[in-house]
Amino acid sequence: MPSPPWLTDLSRAFRAHRQGREGWHIQVNRDRLRVTSAELPPRAGEPVSAARKRSVTLRTPPGPTTITAALAEACAIFDGCMAGTWSWPAPGDPAPEGVTDPAAPANLQRLISQLHDQQVGEAMTESTWRRTWAPYLAALVATASEAYGSPAPAMLAAYLRRWPPGTRARQMGHDRARALWRHAGWPWPPVIAAMRGNGKAAADPRGVRAFSDAEIATLRERVISSRLTPADLVAWDLLAVFGLRPVELQGLELRQDGGTLLAVVTRNKRSSKGSSGARTIPAVPPAGWPADCHQLLERWHTNGLPPSAQTRRSPGELLTQQLRRLHMPAELTAYGLRHAFAIRLAEVGLNYREAAQLMGHSPATHVATYGRRLALPDLMAKVGRLARERQG
């Protein structure tokens, strides 16, 4: 495995200080830095013998934020050995001035700022960072403050225990902290890897909760009889017919091509999992809908979309609140119509790659999200058939 850039820079600076003297190295051993050389003196009580390599562990933790302190400590060891004045530190000796604990809250906060600047704009948006990264990393800093002075593995264990074992939340917390450790160049404690949550195990065994066709019909009836506007009904129908993310209502174009109603998504989606660009989606309405999807194109031109769906940062939250006011089942969200669309694509005969392309995500994401729901009916039928054959 190649050395992280900060370790390469540290080794280069240490080599420059030695002015070409070979046989000295800075290495990472587990979660600590060490200086190795055959010119280190024997330890107390060690018999004087032929020169052999010895290693001294630095008090400075590894990572890009502590290069200056690590270089100063390594250079002091080298200079002392060359002068014949250096001796092995006693276990209780205080740490050199300026050396920081890697799990110290201030150190973690600096690393989080660096990680934010590295990720936001390249791998994710600012809103994704605030929603799916910042809360977990804030909990990490809070745990470090509560467990100040504890070894990093103990602090990380206390941090992960904030969430129940095997949950998606613990998995997210684990992965965010590990990303921070990777950014710093620190080795991840093996004991912590065993505490990682399991989002798949915590998921509903039935798969995603999608609207049924009957629930979509009930939703339309309740929207029509409520105080919501015809524009709100257009928004809900678009989600049902094209499987849109709620935010994709912004910048949406609707047109007719021959006898096919098409939605043109113009909004780009970017997150830590990847990105998706513009795409064109043919209408795949629920069973029993007329070919014109209840005159959806005409209603689109006449009523448009509600302003809130076009201006809010997260229109899905507003739409889900409408579901609650319409007394739809509590487990349904606006994304439930997108899930229903994915299942409908499988029912009309599309394979997972074709369905993923229409939905604007990768085939791997499609299988991970919908594979359990799509495979469950076939699995149950197969088990029933095998059980009957065995009994017969």
Same domain, 180 and 217: no
Same domain, 230 and 139: no
- Report the alpha-carbon distance of residue 87 to residue 81 in Å, rounded: 8
- Report the alpha-carbon distance of residue 233 to residue 298 in Å, rounded: 13
Q: Is residue 340 part of a domain?
A: yes
Same domain, 262 and 182: no
Which of 143, 250, 153 has its CA nearest to residue 195?
Answer: 153
Same domain, 179 and 304: no
The domain containing residue 58 runs over which residues?
5-43+51-83
- Report the alpha-carbon distance of residue 189 to residue 308 in Å, rounded: 47
Neighbours of 207 (CB within 10 A): 17
**What are the structure tokens assigned to 220, written together?**
């339309």
Q: Is residue 133 part of a domain?
A: yes
From 202, 225, 247, give the residue that closes a domain: 202
Q: Half-sphere exposure of 97 toward its Cβ, with a 13 Å CA cutoff?
A: 0
What DSSP letter does each residue of 178-244 carry, written as one string?
HHHHHHHTPPPPHHHHTT---HHHHS-TT-S----HHHHHHHHHHHHHSS--HHHHHHHHHHHHH--
Same domain, 164 and 221: no
Q: Which residues of 351-385 are buried (b: 16+ CB within 10 A; e: fewer)?
A: ebeebbbbbbbeeeebbebbebbbeeeeeeeeeee
Largest Cα–Cα separation, the chain: 94
pLDDT string in tens for the chain (392-residue length) = 567 888 898 999 999 998 888 999 998 876 778 899 988 888 776 666 655 788 888 888 788 877 888 888 898 899 889 988 888 876 545 444 444 456 678 788 888 998 999 888 877 888 889 989 999 999 999 998 888 767 788 889 999 999 888 787 888 999 999 999 888 877 788 888 888 876 555 455 566 789 999 999 999 999 999 999 999 999 999 999 999 999 899 989 999 988 899 999 987 765 544 455 689 999 999 999 999 999 999 999 999 999 988 887 778 888 999 999 999 999 899 999 999 999 999 888 888 889 889 998 888 888 878 877 776 556 556 667 777 777 76
Cα 336 to chain centroid, rounded: 22
Q: Is residue 392 part of a domain?
A: no
From 202, 236, 256, give the residue that closes a domain: 202
Report field, pTM of the whole predicted structure over 0.85: no
What DSSP letter does each residue of 156-175 carry, written as one string?
HHHHHTTS-TT-HHHHHHHH
Q: Half-sphere exposure of 390 toward its Cβ, with a 13 Å CA cutoff?
A: 6
Do residues 316 and 269 touch, judged by C-beta distance below 8 A? no
Same domain, 218 and 188: no
Same domain, 162 and 56: no
**Residues 6 or more apart whose Cβ sits within 8 Å of residue 244:** 238, 252, 263, 265, 281, 338
Same domain, 156 and 26: no
Answer positive or negative: Cα dihedral of 380, 381, 387, 390.
Answer: negative
Same domain, 226 and 338: yes
Same domain, 183 and 217: no
Same domain, 36 and 58: yes
Q: Is residue 387 part of a domain?
A: no
> Which contacts qualify for 136-142: CB closer than 8 Å, 24 or more apart?
136/172, 136/173, 136/176, 136/177, 137/108, 137/112, 137/176, 137/177, 137/180, 139/173, 140/108, 140/173, 140/176, 140/177, 140/180, 141/105, 141/108, 141/109, 141/112
Q: Which amino acid is at 293?
A: C
Q: Is residue 288 part of a domain?
A: yes
Q: Is residue 90 part of a domain?
A: no
Which of 70, 6, 2 has its CA nearest to residue 32?
Answer: 70
Backbone angle region of 374, left / alpha / beta, with phi > 0 → left and psi within -120 to 50 → alpha: alpha
**What are the structure tokens assigned to 42, written together?**
């024997």
Number of domains in the chain: 3
Q: Is residue 368 part of a domain?
A: no
Same domain, 178 and 249: no
Backbone angles phi, psi at 257, to 5 degrees: -125, 100
Q: Half-sphere exposure of 381 toward its Cβ, with a 13 Å CA cutoff?
A: 5
Q: What's 268's domain CATH number?
A: 1.10.443.10
